[in-house]
Amino acid sequence: MENIGSEKVIVIDFGGQYNQLVARRVRECNVYCEIYSYKTPLEDIRKMNPKGIILTGGPNSVYEAGAPTATPDLFHMGIPVLGLCYGAQLMMHVLGGKVEKAPEREYGKTKVCIDKPASRLFTGVDSKTVCWMSHNDYISRVAEGFEIIAHTANCPAAAAENEGQQLYAFQFHPEVLHTVQGKLMLHNFVFGVCGCAGDWKMEDFAEKTIRELREKIGDGKVLCALSGGVDSSVCAVLLSKAVGKKLTCVFVDHGLLRKDEGDLVSGVFGPDGPYDLNFIRVNAQERFYKKLAGVTEPEKKRKIIGEEFIRVFEEESKKIGKVDFLAQGTIYPDVVESGLGGESATIKSHHNVGGLPDFVDFKEIVEPLRNLFKDEVRKVGLHLGIPEALVMRQPFPGPGLGIRIIGEVTPEKVRIVQEADAIYREEMDKAGMNKTVGQYFAALTNMRSVGVMGDERTYDYAIALRAVNTVDFMTADAAEVPYEVLKTVTSRIVNEVSHVNRVFYDVTSKPPGTIEFE
């Protein structure tokens, strides 16, 4: 599954925060793209036979000792190169231009004036266009053979090119959406300069991956931990199409799933569903509830759920015996965030299912989705005919409702939050909010208060509704859900869910709040 695209563009990472965005933009052109560390040997890059190379931005100064660099040969392979920000400065620095601290730092949306409209990168681009700038250094002299093709008020070389050598430099970031015509510029590079055909399609990916999995696995046995989340579901379906009954999927129902979710997953993957695989649903609800009884501390709850999950999975896999392959739904951002071995920060070490490989007796891991971004995984899922309810699912935390019930988890509280959440989701769907809001759910506060129902005094729980919009889940804003929708949801919850007499809407952003409550 290494060389999956017939043509590819590679991104060389110098530690820029937008490295994944660059690759995504290229893939949006239907051109396969991978990210490599700047430390990757030139010989390896040459062997990949890329149609083009893009150098990312980065936090360093090219003229400092020890700064990430590139060999001049990188620019003399006859392969088009586009340098962005640090990448642009590095290109000039390595090829004999001059980079120094800018008299004026540029940050934010900046008007760029195009000096050479005939440049192949600027086909269809306006003569004045807004671009995203973020730099302290600037190119004070371009290298020999280059001409300046755009400038800003403070940056004389906002873009430069050496057309004969197919080398291009942008001081700004075309990959960021604030650069209004950035997508067009990258499109121009990928098609106009690199001559790509744009034949990277998810349908082809699915068929090719199924063929490759079949070849690789042969008569071997595969074990897959299926959570019902997007990644593990698509991973399981690819494998089932490839090897059918040689695959065993273990689905642990920890009793902390959303309403009817266990049945939805079993319906799709179980014996009554369209796939012919060995699907094992482990109904471990009672085990989890027992372990969680009396526990109120959030981190402790998370730990108990994680550990118990592993115990259950371990017991099930022992029953199956030795397997040849363990399948994991690792996706490309996991790979990139686990560090490319270069300048990029290791944001998190990725363990898709909490250290499973330590105890499962297997030969090799298969990760059929490790080259895909989330939206691409979704496209594959839809192409494979997996129900939209599974494929387009919002993120759902591993510890499930366990962290949406503040304080002790009991079966009764699970029922309350499941019912309330189902009503909330139904009404949000009806109002079309599922198309515009990133993530929403109900949580059960640990607060009880006095209310009145009929002529009776009540002393019951309060539900908190959360709805957020977010790009990366690192920061988030509370969504502006119409008051009418909130009123309907509140009225239905207090009327239909016993032991709830109050509903709150959480307008806290992240930070200082988090998306989940625990």
Q: Distance between CA 486 and CA 214 in Å, rounded? A: 50
CB of 439 to ligand XMP, least distance (A): 5
Contact 506, 466 (CB under 8 A): yes
- Choose one: 54-62, 393-401, 408-416, 495-503; the region binding ligand XMP (CB under 6 A): 393-401
Query: Which CA distances in Å does 336 have to 11, 17, 21, 344, 512?
Result: 12, 11, 12, 9, 27
Question: One of 7, 106, 161, 175 is an active-site residue; which one?
Answer: 175
Q: Distance between CA 96 and CA 507 in Å, rounded? A: 54
- Residue 33 makes contact with ligand XMP by CB under 6 A: no
- Half-sphere exposure (Cβ direction) of 432: Cα atoms closer than 13 Å: 1
- Choose one: 5-13, 172-180, 270-278, 395-403; the region binding ligand XMP (CB under 6 A): 395-403
State both tokens at 73. Answer: 């040969």
Single-letter amino acid code for the residue at 412: E
Which of 63, 56, 76, 47 minimizes the C-alpha distance to 14?
Answer: 56
- Choose one: 31-39, 245-253, 361-369, 392-400; the region binding ligand XMP (CB under 6 A): 392-400
- Choose one: 162-170, 265-273, 283-291, 394-402; the region binding ligand XMP (CB under 6 A): 394-402
Question: One of 29, 33, 85, 155 is an active-site residue; which one?
Answer: 85
CB of 517 to ligand XMP, least distance (A): 8
Q: Distance between CA 332 and CA 369 in Å, rounded? A: 7
Binding mask 474-513 for ligand XMP (x = CB under 6 A): ------------------------------------x---
CB of 515 to ligand XMP, least distance (A): 3
∠142-145-146 over CA atoms, to 5°?
A: 45
Query: Which CA distances in Å does 6 have to 3, 25, 79, 446?
Result: 8, 18, 16, 55
Is 85 a residue of the active site?
A: yes
- The SS3 call for residue 467 is strand
Single-letter amino acid code for the residue at 17: Q
Question: One of 135, 173, 187, 254 is an active-site residue; which one?
Answer: 173
Q: Distance between CA 153 and CA 108 in Å, rounded? A: 13
CB of 370 to ligand XMP, least distance (A): 17
Beta-bridge partner residues of 82? 54, 168
Nearer CB in complex with ligand XMP: 158/304: 304
Nearer CB in complex with ligand XMP: 38/396: 396
Q: Distance between CA 400 and CA 423 in Å, rounded? A: 18
- Kindly determine how many residues on this chain lie close enough to bind ligand XMP according to the rule CB under 6 A: 10
- Choose one: 213-221, 237-245, 396-404, 489-497; the region binding ligand XMP (CB under 6 A): 396-404
CB of 202 to ligand XMP, least distance (A): 24
Is 187 a residue of the active site?
A: no
Nearer CB in complex with ligand XMP: 241/301: 301
CB of 424 to ligand XMP, least distance (A): 15
Torsion of CA 236, 239, 243, 248, to 10 degrees: -30
CB of 337 to ligand XMP, least distance (A): 13
For the chain, state the CA radius of gyration.
Answer: 26
Distance of CA 89 to the CA centre of its chain: 29
- Sequence-ordered alpha helix ranges (H) in 360-446: 374-383, 388-391, 411-430
CB of 331 to ligand XMP, least distance (A): 12
Nearer CB in complex with ligand XMP: 143/417: 417
Q: Distance between CA 410 and CA 428 in Å, rounded? A: 27
Select from 398, 448, 486, 488 the one that contacts ligand XMP (CB under 6 A). Answer: 398
- Choose one: 175-183, 185-193, 247-255, 391-399; the region binding ligand XMP (CB under 6 A): 391-399
For residue 511, whether the previous peptide bond is cis, meaning omega lies within 30 degrees of 0, is yes
Nearer CB in complex with ligand XMP: 142/250: 250
Contact 446, 464 (CB under 8 A): no
Is 178 a residue of the active site?
A: no
- Residue 516 makes contact with ligand XMP by CB under 6 A: yes
Binding mask 247-286 for ligand XMP (x = CB under 6 A): ----------------------------------------
Select from 145, 395, 407, 451 the one that contacts ligand XMP (CB under 6 A). Answer: 395
Nearer CB in complex with ligand XMP: 221/466: 466
Nearer CB in complex with ligand XMP: 418/501: 418
- Residue 515 makes contact with ligand XMP by CB under 6 A: yes
Task: Identify residues 436-475 at the interface with ligand XMP (CB under 6 A).
Answer: 439, 473
Nearer CB in complex with ligand XMP: 93/425: 425
- Tell me 502's DSSP state: E
CB of 512 to ligand XMP, least distance (A): 11
Backbone angles phi, psi at 116, to 5 degrees: -130, 85
Which of 19, 66, 14 minimizes the C-alpha distance to 332?
Answer: 19
Backbone angles phi, psi at 363, to 5 degrees: -90, -40
Q: Which residues contact 65 (CB under 8 A, 6 or more apart)?
A: none
Which of 339, 299, 212 minimizes the C-alpha distance to 516?
Answer: 299
CB of 198 to ligand XMP, least distance (A): 32
Q: Which residues are catalytic?
A: 85, 173, 175
> Applying CB under 6 A, which residues contact ligand XMP?
395, 397-399, 439, 473, 510, 514-516
